[in-house]
């Protein structure tokens, strides 16, 4: 199970989620003007490691 990191953008009025530590670190370092790091939102299994009895997280395009 891996953490899912959440960001908020007041510029875009939107949240952004990623499981990538490098993407998290890059946004924190390079885009603090556009994205505010809010921490771990929840934990999830990455594919194909989803466990029996768990539900997928579905994204919705804005």
Q: In terms of residue numbers, what domain contains 54?
A: 1-62
Q: Is the pTM for the entire model greater than 0.95? A: no
On the question of pLDDT at 18 being above 70, the answer is yes
The better pLDDT of the pair 56, 34 is held by 34
Residue 13 pLDDT: 95
pLDDT digits (tens, 9 = 90+) for 24-51: 999 999 999 999 999 999 988 877 777 8
Residue 58 pLDDT: 67
The structural domain count of the chain equals 1
Residues 6 or more apart whose Cβ sits within 8 Å of residue 8? 14, 15, 16, 35, 36, 38
On the question of pLDDT at 60 being above 60, the answer is no
Cα–Cα dist 49/31, whole Å: 31
Residue 45 pLDDT: 80
């Amino acid at each position: 199970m891996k953490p899912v990191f959440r960001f908020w953008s007041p510029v875009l009025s939107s949240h952004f989620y990623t499981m990538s530590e490098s993407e998290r670190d890059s946004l924190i370092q390079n885009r603090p003007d556009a994205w505010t790091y809010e921490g771990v939102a929840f934990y999830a299994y990455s594919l194909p490691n989803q466990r029996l009895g768990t539900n997928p997280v579905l994204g919705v395009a804005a």
